[in-house]
Each structure stands twice: as C-alpha cells, then as structure tokens.
C-alpha cells in the first residue's frame, strides 16, 4: 500500500486557485502520522466554520464508510463524545468492513474547540502505545499551529485587500476615487507614449446646483443623488472606460481608445441625455444637470494632475457659460486661469495697499434737469497694469469674498465724501449718493448695524444714502431678504432695485419687497429711441413702478433722443454719459459749484 494522497482527495485550503498544488497542513501531517506510527493509513479532516479540508494517506475506499472520508468523522465524533479527547478502538463493522485498528485525537481551533480529527488506522488488529498516542497528539498540535498561522495569514491578506480597496474606492458610491483614477490616468499616459494611436480623453463633471438638493432635502438625499449619478454615469460608458468620484459632487471619466474630439463630445452629450429624466429620491423627483469639461490626451500636458486640471478649467468654462453644457479645453483657458490667479493675488494686495478710489456718476432729476445725486463706482489703479476694468476684478472679488471688505470701504468712503460736499456746498440742496451692495454683502447678517455705524461715523443723514441691490440677491432667500430690507429702511435709508427688468421682474414680488425705486437697465434704454419694442418695455416698467408708488431711474442715457423719450414717459431720474461719465471727487466738486443743469 502506497503512503500517498489518494487521487481525487480534497486538499489545501491555503492554496490560491490556479496555483501549483501545495500539500495542506492536513495532508502533510496525515502523511507524517502514517510514517511516524508505521501504519499504512492516516486521515486528517477539518469541518470547522470554514469549508471542510482534509488530507488522506493510504485510505482505500473499502476502508471508508460509504467511500466518504467525512463519514468517518461522524463516527469519530461519536467516539470522542463517549470517551473524551482520545479514541482507541477496533473500528471494524459487523460485516468486517473498515480498519481493524483506529486511533485519533482532535484537531483544535484557535478557541480550543474541536474542528476535526487526526486519525491513524491499520488493516490489522493492534494496540496503540502511550508513546504512539503522545506522538499523535504532538503531530495534531503541530498541524493545529500551522493551520492557525495560515488562517491568520489569509485573514491578514483579506484585510490588506479590503484596505487597498477602501483606499482606492469611494466609500459612498463604490467608484474608483481620485487616487485610483490618477493611477489609471498615469497608465494611459504611458501607453499613449508607446502607442500614439491609442489616444484617450478625460471628462471632468460637476453637478449643477447640488447644494440646493443638500440644503432643501437634506444630506442623506444628497448622498442618494450621488449614488444615482454614479450608476447613470456607468451606464453611459464602455467596460474599458473608468468613472471615478473625485470628491463632493465632482466626477471624472477616462475614455480609452478615443479617436477624435467628436468621440468625447458624443459621450458628454449622451450623459446630458441620460440626465434629462428625473432621479427619484425617496419620493422626490429631482432633475439634475451637469457641467462637463473635456480634455484630449493630444492637447494637454502629459502629467495626470495637469490633465485633470485642464479638464477642470474646461468644466468651469462650461459652468460660466450657463451650466448644463460641455466645453473643450484649449490653451487660452490656461492663460485666462493664470491671469485670474494673478488678479486674485494683486486684488488682495490692493485691498491692503488702498489702491482703490471712487468715481461718481451724476444722477439727474429729469423733471428739473438739476443734479440730484451720484452713484459711487469703485475704480482700481494697478501700480503696473494701470486701470483695471471693474468687469475684470469685481467677479474675482465676488468669488473670493474680497467684495465684502471692498464693499465696506466703498460705503464708508462714499458717505464720508458726500458729507464733505454737503458741508461745502449747502446751497446745492439735499444731494444723495447711491452705493452698490453685492449679493455677498447683502447675505451677511449685521448689514444694517454696519450701515448704521457708518452713518453715525460720517454724520450723514440716512435719507442721503441709497443702497442698490440686484433682483437675484434679494430672491435667493426671500424671507431673509425681506427682513434685511425692513431693517435697512428702518434706518431711513432708501433701497434701489438695480438692473430691473433683467431678472425675475414681476408685480407680485415688487408688492412684497420693501424698495423705494427701480433702476431700469441700460439694455432697455440703449435702443429706445430707434426701436418701439424697447420703448414699450420701458413704458411697461414705468407703469409697473407707478402702480406700486416707486420712483424710477434710467441707466445708460447717452443720446438726447433717449432723454426726450424718458421725459415724455415721466421717468423720475436718469444717469449716463449724456450727462457725464463717472468723474473723480474734484470733478464732482466743480460740477456742484457750477450748478449745471441738463
């Protein structure tokens, strides 16, 4: 009888699938027991919580109960219950089947419980000496120790695999995270270096107005939306492509084997189509759109971080163009981003160095032609670039939050300057100054207290100050806005609705909002003298203002014909280059002293 593992015997739970066969501890120690005790047959069987494993040496089918090694385990277990941990017995059945002599000891688990048995058998009747039984126990103990070590190693490997997966995947959506996406992107870069025809594209995706969902429905619904977005994005891609969540509401796609810009654009349009239908989130139907930036492997830097940055730039261009669209990266975007970054730096220094000054544009009473007041306009004289247009630096100041300290300075300086002119030219009458309040300023708590302090500090009559706010800043949070407007008007300050007609203009909200005057946007005034349609718009706005007892100020008055129409329609005030461009304080002083009328 050969002391070898029988054909078809199960072995080794510590061997990876597909790897060369390696004897398990059960098999090795079964063989060792057979050799050590000089018997032809040995069996080691485990049936713990893990899948049963076994090793057999020399057990022919006729020795086993029903030809099944596991059946012997049931018999052995009964013997152990009856006689303790050690069994010694003639195992032949009534018909003479089975081994003539059988001995066994338990194979213990890490907690000390029996997980199986190491059995030795002989077809000849025999007794087992104490030394042989001790040897059997020692071999079983060694098998236990090795099996436990292998189990711990397997658990350690499993934990490592789980850790690696969690390190490289997003916990919420299960998608690859930024680290894994960057790793795959680096591989794509290396591959395209060797095979230029294997081009790829990166799409940077940002959800539009995701904050609205979080704020209105709660963060748990926001999480559900992100999971649904991840699922839909995966449906838009091929198996070889990668979709990753970079963080927050930002996702990225790596499209392999892209042959032209059109291939990437088709995916972007497929995504927009996919999200044209609502997402059902716990009974709420939510429509979400996304802004997509695209960069091709042939048009950007080869470093993964730069590719992502370029796609991010393109995404912001798409968002700035109106959201729910895509934009393709080009190198002018990088130049613009550098310019914007430098502008941001210079703007912060300008606040610290007092590089700003105010110009003032006259506001004329159209009924009398006399000067009624001024709009304060901030100007920036850059020490190297010279004059920087407000259209360039105001959006940056809004985005960075610098608009708040800038706005506070403008308010204080305008009030101080007007008080100085009132003291110097008392005969000019009750001149006023209007100051633009940014959306960020208006949203801040304590605005009325700040205005009240500045009025006291500069000794300016509150009736001389007009604060200009935009429709959109008021309507972002109507309840909070109405409270802020009430507090400001309680000080005696008047509120002007700026750029009226370009947003949500309606009689219903004008009736609710506490404002004193409307400023008609220059886009309506510009073509008023030549296009009847524009004249009709202005007429409607003036009728709307009168219906709720508001005054009206027309912006952008540049030609006498425009002035004539505005006077005929009964507009209260006008401002524009026909009267004067914005001028510095000395120019204003000369204008007041001259008592000019129009």
The token pair that represents 364 in the structure block: 């004329």
pLDDT higher than 60, residue 256: yes
Which pLDDT band, with edges at 50, 70 and 90, does 77 fall under?
A: low
**E strand spans, 82-163:** 87-89, 101-108, 114-122
Which pLDDT band, with edges at 50, 70 and 90, does 51 fall under?
A: very low
Which pLDDT band, with edges at 50, 70 and 90, does 425 fall under?
A: very high
Question: Given the DSSP bridges, would you call strands 53-57 and 41-46 parallel, antiparallel or unpaired?
Answer: antiparallel
Task: Encode pLDDT of 307-362 as tens digits.
Answer: 999 999 999 889 888 888 999 998 788 777 777 788 888 888 887 788 899 999 99
Distance between CA 470 and CA 453 in Å, rounded?
Answer: 23
Q: Find out whether 471 and 412 touch, Cβ atoms under 8 Å.
A: no
Q: Find out whether 432 and 387 touch, Cβ atoms under 8 Å.
A: no
Q: Find out whether 550 and 518 touch, Cβ atoms under 8 Å.
A: yes
Helices 403-424, 447-458: inter-axial angle, 10-degree rounding: 30
Which pLDDT band, with edges at 50, 70 and 90, does 376 fall under?
A: very high
Percent of the residues in the chain that have a pLDDT greater than 70, as a whole number: 83
Percent of the residues in the chain that have a pLDDT greater than 90, as a whole number: 42
Residue 375 contacts by C-beta under 8 Å, 6 or more apart in sequence?
360, 361, 363, 433, 434, 435, 436, 468, 575, 582
pLDDT higher than 80, residue 48: no
Distance between CA 529 and CA 503 in Å, rounded?
Answer: 23
Task: Encode pLDDT of 181-236 as tens digits.
Answer: 999 999 999 998 888 888 999 999 999 888 888 877 888 889 999 999 999 999 99
pLDDT for 57 equals: 61
Which pLDDT band, with edges at 50, 70 and 90, does 411 fall under?
A: very high
pLDDT for 11 equals: 36
Instruction: For residue 95, give the DSSP letter.
Output: T
- pTM for the model: 0.59
Long-range CB contacts (< 8 A, 24+ apart) of 50-53?
50/13, 50/151, 51/13, 52/10, 52/116, 53/10, 53/11, 53/12, 53/13, 53/24, 53/26
Task: Encode pLDDT of 503-560 as tens digits.
Answer: 555 555 666 778 899 999 998 898 887 888 889 989 999 998 898 889 999 999 999 9
Q: Domains of the chain, with CATH numbers?
A: 25-166 (3.30.450.40), 178-329 (3.30.70.270), 339-594 (3.20.20.450)
pLDDT higher than 50, residue 9: no
């Amino acid at each position: 009888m050969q002391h070898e593992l029988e054909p078809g015997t199960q072995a080794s739970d510590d061997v990876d699938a597909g790897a060369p066969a390696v004897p398990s501890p059960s098999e090795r120690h079964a063989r060792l027991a057979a050799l050590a005790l000089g018997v032809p047959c040995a069996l080691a069987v485990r049936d713990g919580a893990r899948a049963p494993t076994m090793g057999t040496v020399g057990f022919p089918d006729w020795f086993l109960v029903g030809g099944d090694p596991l059946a012997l385990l049931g018999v052995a277990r009964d013997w152990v219950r009856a006689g303790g941990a050690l069994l010694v017995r003639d195992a032949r059945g009534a018909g003479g089947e089975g081994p003539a002599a059988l001995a066994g000891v338990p194979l213990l688990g890490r907690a000390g419980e029996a997980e199986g048995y190491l059995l030795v058998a002989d077809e000849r009747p025999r007794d087992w000496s104490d030394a042989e039984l001790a040897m059997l126990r020692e071999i079983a103990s060694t098998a236990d120790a090795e099996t436990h070590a292998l189990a711990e190693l397997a658990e350690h490997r499993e934990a490592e695999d789980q850790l690696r997966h969690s390190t490289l995947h997003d916990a919420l959506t299960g998608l690859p995270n930024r680290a894994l996406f960057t790793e795959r992107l680096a591989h794509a870069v290396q591959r395209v270096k060797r095979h230029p025809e294997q081009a790829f594209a990166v799409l940077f995706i940002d959800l539009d107005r995701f904050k609205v969902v979080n704020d209105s429905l709660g963060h748990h619904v926001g999480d559900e939306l992100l999971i649904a977005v991840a699922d839909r994005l995966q449906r838009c891609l091929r198996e070889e492509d990668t979709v990753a969540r970079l963080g927050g509401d930002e996702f990225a796609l790596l499209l392999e084997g892209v042959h032209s810009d059109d291939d990437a654009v088709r995916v972007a349009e497929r995504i927009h189509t996919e999200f044209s239908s609502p997402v059902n989130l716990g009974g709420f139907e939510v429509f979400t759109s996304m802004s997509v930036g695209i960069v091709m492997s042939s048009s950007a830097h080869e470093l993964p971080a730069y590719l992502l940055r370029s796609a991010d730039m393109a995404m912001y261009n798409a968002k700035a163009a109106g959201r729910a669209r895509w934009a393709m990266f080009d190198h002018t975007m990088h130049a613009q981003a550098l310019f914007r970054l430098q502008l941001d730096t210079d703007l912060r220094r300008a606040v610290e160095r007092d590089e700003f000054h105010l110009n003032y544009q006259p506001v004329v009473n159209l009924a009398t032609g006399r000067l009624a007041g001024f709009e304060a306009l901030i100007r920036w004289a850059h020490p190297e670039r010279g004059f920087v247009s407000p259209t360039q630096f105001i959006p940056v100041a809004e985005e960075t939050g610098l608009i708040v300290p800038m706005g506070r300075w403008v308010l204080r300086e305008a009030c101080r300057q007007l008080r100085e002119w009132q003291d110097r030219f008392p005969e000019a009458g009750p001149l006023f100054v209007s100051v633009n309040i940014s959306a960020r300023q208006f949203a801040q708590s304590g605005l009325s207290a700040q205005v009240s302090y500045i009025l006291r500090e500069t000794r300016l009559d509150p009736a001389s100050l007009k604060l200009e706010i935009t429709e959109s800043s008021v309507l972002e949070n109507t309840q909070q806005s109405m409270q802020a407007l009430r507090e400001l008007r309680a000080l005696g300050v008047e509120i002007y609705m700026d750029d009226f007609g370009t947003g949500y203009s309606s009689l219903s909200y004008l009736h609710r909002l506490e404002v004193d005057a409307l400023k008609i946007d220059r886009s309506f005034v510009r073509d008023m003298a030549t296009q009847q349609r524009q004249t009709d718009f202005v007429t409607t706005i003036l009728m709307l203002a009168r219906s709720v007892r508001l005054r009206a100020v027309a912006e952008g008055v540049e030609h006498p014909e425009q002035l004539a129409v505005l006077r005929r329609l009964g507009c209260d005030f006008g401002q524009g280059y026909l009267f004067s461009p914005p001028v510095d304080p000395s120019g204003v002083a000369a204008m007041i002293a001259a008592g000019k009328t129009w």
